[in-house]
Amino acid sequence: MESNMDLLHSNGVLIIQHLQRDYRAYQDFLNFMSHVGDPRNIFSIYFPLWFQLNQVVGTKMIWVAVIGDWFNLIFKWILFGHRPYWWVQETMIYPNQSSPCLEQFPITCETGPGSPSGHAMGSSCVWYIMVTAALSYTVRWKDKSAVTLHRLTWSFLWSIFWIIQISVCISRVFIATHFPHQVVLGVFAGILVAEAFEHTPAIQTASLRMYIKTNLFLFLFALGFYLSLKLLDIDLLWSVPKAKKWCANPDWINIDTTPFAGLVRNLGALFGLGLGINSEMFITSCKGKNSCKISFRILCIAASLATLQLYNFVKIPTHTEYLFYILSFCKSAAMPLTVVALVPYCVHSLMRTTEKKLN
């Protein structure tokens, strides 16, 4: 079994070398696509856009992102997948210490296990939700010309979907942070999670208590799994020392890429969504008469995107790990709360004040 995995890894290294040698001219584009696949974009870009256009899709997007990333964490802990940039330094399959030279980049040195790819999984699940949501509007068309248009739209959107997924996968392999089989596994795992939530309507009516219960279950299960294996002398954070040892530049190591950092970030986002949807501000603004107006939605999208970009300037201190996790949870919770409740309520109040002055 070990020799088969070594063969898979060594073939993957050959592919990485080929990409880094022959696709050097596309380095900027590939780095950009790696950023496109970053799961954090779901909360700061895709969710603000879709929630104001369609609250059902926006809500589903957060649930899919959080549950998908949670499964990704559990799979990574189970599969113990190596990353190329450290595997080539430690493997014994290359004779006379002639290990291949893989170039590293500022976004290469992720600290968690490599399989399945979180970027590929996050990208596929959220784009699957967006494509199926867009197609749901065209599937209702009944006349013959509309059916033809629906088929063309179907082909176009799914082509865009696969172009983006393939580009994200190639970018993650190019920067030597994943082997090819890890990104392929991530894509199909993300699609499965997204498809499962197509048949889970209960999330649309979930109470705050349900959000809290879900958060507690996800956290306690992950923590319990981690502690149980630690009692068996299995260290699930084995990948962190390897990343610190073999990363070409220590400044490229980021605590934000550790397994528990992603867990805390996602739990914060889910809690913030539950808090926002079950708040009076959301009911007043997004369920009121202004919510159907195009101007209200456009203002909410613009204000949400602008406000969330300001959150990027909030730097969380990393010198104390537990403090980092607590502040990361609070920051992540504030983002969907801002999109769902704070911004719509402010826009609603502004429009109501303007209407009163006009009258």
Tell me the one-letter amino acid at 119. H
Options 119, 150, 199, 348, the catalytic residue = 119
**Among 9, 178, 181, 348, the one annotated catalytic:** 178
Contact 170, 30 (CB under 8 A): yes
**CB contact at 8 A, 315 and 252:** no
Q: Two tokens at 64? A: 């899919």
Does residue 21 have a known ligand-binding role? Answer: no
Is 119 catalytic? The answer is yes
Q: How many CB atoms lie within 10 A of CB 38?
A: 16
Q: Please give the Cα distance from 94 to 98 (Å, whole number).
A: 6
Residue 110 Cα to chain centre, angstroms: 15
Q: How many angstroms separate the CA atoms of 216 and 223, rounded?
A: 10
Omega cis (within 30) before 116: yes
Computed over its alpha carbons, how large is the radius of gyration of the chain?
22
Greatest alpha-carbon span in the chain: 85
d(CA 359, CA 341): 27
What is the Cα–Cα distance from 239 to 214, expressed in whole angstroms? 28
172 known member of a binding site:
yes
Helix axes 144-174, 180-197, angle to 10 degrees: 140
What residues are designated binding site for substrate? 83, 172
Which residues are designated catalytic?
119, 178
What residues are designated binding site? 83, 172
